[in-house]
Structures are given as structure tokens and as C-alpha cells.
Amino acid sequence: MHDPLSDVLAVLGTKSVRGTSLEAQGAWALSFDGRLRLKFVAVARGQCWLTLPDRAPELLSEGDVVLLSNTRYTVASDPALEAIDGMALYALPGQNTVRLGNGCDTVMIGGGSGFEEGCASFVLDALPRFLRISQRSPSAEAINRTLQSLHEEMRQEWAGAALIAERLADVLVVEAVRAYIATGATPSIGWIAALGDGKIAEALKLMHSDVARRWTVPDLAREVGMSRSALTQRFSQKVGRPPLDYLTLWRMLLAQRKLAGGEAIATVAEDVGYQSQSAFAHAFKRRMGRTPRQGAR
């Protein structure tokens, strides 16, 4: 039986978005724009303030790790300072370390995970815009180590660094999801939230393990030991869409990946559960906004 999270990472094409560091002393403030990616920031030394739109400033200290998802943010020695554009400081190729002032009272390392075009929202919509990971969490230590490794690979430019960076991006996303589930807080709606619910997670695994099967709600309900109405209601509450609607979305994301890889439209249609190319083409265009042939290009 498949692991839905592993399936998602394989299909959405997770990729590394640089490994960066900041060494600062004195008064400083940098702003960064929002991107369709996951951003990880770890404080390796000292402390700083993190500010997000419509949110009170957060004081980060050595050992803290935060996850940022598709949002603008500012890091500063003092939240009252006017920030300069941090993106410009990292704009040049190979400019992965920025130094402000004559020392390094504060040291931060960062990294990110991007996704193939059109796929980012599937992950980002299911994660919070901001997540502070407890220093006592195993995920905080794992993310910190991974960021250090990512930064070292990018800095040294060793042979195979690009491939290792992509694998480290996968690790970062998995640790972020684990940390989110481990918070125990009421999660936002999305398939990631559903991974923490035994029955709904089981239904997800069933659909992922046999995506071409002509699933019905009664089939799924019987497999997970729930009534049809209870499954539909609970699945919709957790995932944000009914079971078969989720299945259609997942089929189209999977189909997009296969088409981009050069597989024939007829083969892809059959692989994701459609007996006719026309039915598949209609479903693909309705969900993805383009034809299968355009998806292949």
C-alpha cells in the first residue's frame, strides 16, 4: 500500500531552492517577497525578529526553526527598523551568503523547496503560512542538519551537488509535514491534515495504491469501516473536498507528470482510470485548464 506523502513528492517534482546564510551584527532589517515554495529558516546563533503581514513580530532565538509558505516576511535586529530588499542581496549567481556589519552576532541559514509548475498549490494550500517548530521537536534538529548540508553542498559545488540538493529538498518537505502533524493543533483543511486522521489517511492510501480503480464511496467506506455518509462528511471536513473529487484531482496531477515525461495520452488515460481518451481529455482540461496535448508540451 502506498504512502500518500511519498507519492505526492514523487509526482509534484520537489526541487531545492538554494541554500543561503546570513551573518549580521548591529542594526539591520531585510524583507523578502512571497514565492510559491516552502522556505525554511534556522537561527544558528544569536536572535532576530521575524515579521509577517497582519501578524505580531516573533522573536527567534538560537535553535529556533520556522517554516514559511508563500508569504512575504521580514527578518531584523529590531522590528521597528525600515527594511531593505533582501532579495537583491542574494540576486547574483553564487551569492548565497550575505554579511551585514563587521561581525556575526546573528547567524541564520535558510533553504527552500519548490515544485513543478502548476503543482505548488497542492502542497502550499495544505500547510500553514507560518509554523514555528519547537526546539524540542525531532523535526527541528533534522531540518537544521538538512539546511546545513544543503548550504554546504551549494557552497562547495561538489560533484553531484545538484542531485543531492534535490534529495535534501524532499527531506525538508517531509520534516515540515511531520512537524505540522506533530503540533497537535487543529490543522487547516487539506490532504496533509488528513494524514493525522487514521480512517481518512487509510482512505487516501487506498486511492493512491490503486488510482485506476473505479472507486465509489461505498467501496471506500466498506474498506475503512465507516458508513458512506460518515466517510463523506469526515473526508470533506479534513481534506476540503469529497473523496471522489480528491481522487479526480490526484489523477490529473499524476497524469500531468506522466504526460510531461513523454508518455502517450492513451496510455496515461488508462493508467489513471479512464476507458476513453475523450473522457480523460475532458476531465484533464476541466481540472488543469489545458488539454492533455498542451500538458505534454
Q: Which CATH class is domain 191-296?
A: mainly alpha
The torsion of the CA quartet 253, 257, 263, 265, rounded to 10 degrees, works out to 30
pLDDT at position 203 is 93
Residues in CB range of 62: below 8 A, 6 or more apart: 43, 44, 45, 46, 47
pLDDT at position 1 is 45
| Neighbour-count burial for 39-58, b at 16+ CB within 10 Å, e otherwise | bbbbbbebebbbbbeeeeeb
pLDDT in tens, the chain (297 residues): 457 777 777 777 677 777 788 999 999 999 998 777 888 888 889 999 999 998 999 999 988 888 898 889 999 999 999 999 999 998 877 788 899 998 889 999 888 887 776 677 777 777 788 888 877 778 788 888 888 887 777 677 778 877 787 788 778 878 877 777 777 655 556 777 787 788 998 999 899 889 999 999 999 999 999 999 999 999 998 888 899 999 999 999 899 888 988 899 999 999 999 999 999 999 999 988 889 988 776
Residue ranges per domain, the chain? Answer: 11-182, 191-296
The torsion of the CA quartet 242, 244, 248, 249, rounded to 10 degrees, works out to 20
Q: Does the fold of domain 191-296 match that of domain 11-182?
A: no
Q: Which CATH architecture has domain 11-182?
A: Sandwich (2.60)
